[in-house]
Structure 1
Amino acid sequence: MSTWANLGLQDSSSPLMEQLIFFHDHTLLILVMITVLVGYLMIMLLFNKYVNRYLLHGQTIEIIWTILPAIILLFIAFPSLRLLYLLDEINEPSITLKTIGHQWYWSYEYSDFTNIEFDSYMIPTNELSLDSFRLLDVDNRVVLPMNSQIRILVTAADVIHSWTVPALGVKVDGTPGRLNQTNFLINRPGLFYGQCSEICGANHSFMPIVIESIPV
């Protein structure tokens, strides 16, 4: 769960999130190198008073600043494409969870079982226990097995919602009349918090998600 003054990403709890964090660090390193290089050149231009009066064109440097950005973009594009296909891959799921977004709560159905469905509402502040989190805890948590492939189907009953759990690297839009799916694997037990990530009305901020991962 993200805490106060946390500048980084949340701790990974799934292999996909580990890959996302690695790609973030990889891209950030490239951006830092570019920033340092451009900053150095700007400072040198400010303090360097030399002028070459005979320079009519710089073909070599034009070739360099055309080819070098293209190579840098390739170093970003190839890992990005790999990750894009990894996120879209659907493995053999051990369990399927159907999620329906409403204004402003979530409904869940365990599709592999008969008549297991429930609504999940945020617990009001005046009803919270001492060890609960304000605006994050719900009355009915989603319980999922650890180290199992889980498929999630997401839709909405009224307006567009987005089912998001950052620690698992999952963000799926829920669109009325459409089923979106993805899969993930939770590699450690615990409680994982998320929220709707698509503005869906007045109480958009008050429809949290809580996943409870248990070893089986």
Structure 2
Amino acid sequence: MEGIINFHHDLMFFLIIVTVFVCWLLFRVITLFDEKKNPIPATFVHGATIEIIWTTIPALILLTVAVPSFALLYSMDEIIDPIITLKVIGSQWYWSYEYSDNLEFADEPLIFDSYMVQENDLEIGQFRLLEVDNRIVVPTNSHIRVLITASDVLHSWAVPSLGVKLDACPGRLNQTSMY
């Protein structure tokens, strides 16, 4: 998540610089090339220097953005030996979870469903449409692999505080890791 935030800040720097430059250039063109100030405009066939400049500078900016972008993309897809694997199956109106790595402590995997708490059952301080009856519990400071799919329709599973958001698609198994 920290890498995504740092990349966003770097990208915003370039975005602000380009936006300010384009606005300044647009203002200069509007003020300098007014019909009243320049009734007979000059004709230019081509300018090799300016064409090289407006081709190389955007290319350099794109390369400067692309290199950290690809590094971040590949680091997010890095395979790390997880301490636990959480299987998530999205169904209409509930999620199913499976901890299959606890077979050394139990004979079968831990499987449970998590339903949304009805509005009339909410306690004070709980959020409507966000509270569930069975929450998942994962260890802290350890690598966790999440495998997600759906049984019926498209779903979106997210843990915003960890910067994780995955789409659950029927017939497709998506994977990510959390720390």
Q: TM-score, normalised by structure 2?
A: 0.87
Out of 115, 118, 121, which is 1:124 matched to?
Answer: 118
Determine the C-alpha separation between the residues in 2 that align with 1:182 and 1:162.
Answer: 13
Post-superposition offset of 1:170: 1.6
Higher relative contact order (CA 8 A, sep 6+): 1
Q: Deviations over 1:53-110 (max 9, x none)?
A: 2643221111101111111111111111011111111201011111000012111011
Q: What secondary structure is seen at the aligned counterpart in 2 of 1:34?
A: helix
- Runs of 4+ that moved beyond 6 A: none
Task: Please tell me the root mean square deviation across aligned C-alpha atoms, in Å.
Answer: 1.6
2:6 match: 22
Contact 2:101 2:109 in 1 (8 A): no
Contact 2:85 2:144 in 1 (8 A): yes
Determine the C-alpha separation between the residues in 2 that align with 1:112 and 1:138.
Answer: 23
User: Where does the alignment leave 5 or more consecutive residues of structure 1 unmatched?
Assistant: 1-16, 186-216
User: Where does the alignment leave 5 or more consecutive residues of structure 2 unmatched?
Assistant: 103-107
After TM superposition, list the pairs within 5 Å mapping 1:87-166 onto structure 2.
Answer: 87-113=76-102, 114-166=108-160
For 2:158, the aligned partner's letter is T
After TM superposition, list the pairs within 5 Å mapping 1:1-216 onto structure 2.
Answer: 17-49=1-33, 53=42, 55-113=44-102, 114-185=108-179
For 1:102, the aligned partner's letter is S
Aligned residues: 169
Greater C-alpha Rg? 2
Determine the C-alpha separation between the residues in 2 that align with 1:160 and 1:56.
Answer: 55
Post-superposition offset of 1:172: 2.3
Q: What secondary structure is seen at the aligned counterpart in 2 of 1:57?
A: coil
Contact 2:80 2:143 in 1 (8 A): yes
Q: What secondary structure is seen at the aligned counterpart in 1 of 2:138?
A: strand
Percent identity of equivalent pairs: 55
For 2:14, the aligned partner's letter is I
Determine the C-alpha separation between the residues in 2 that align with 1:55 and 1:32.
Answer: 31
Determine the C-alpha separation between the residues in 1 that align with 2:43 and 2:109.
Answer: 83
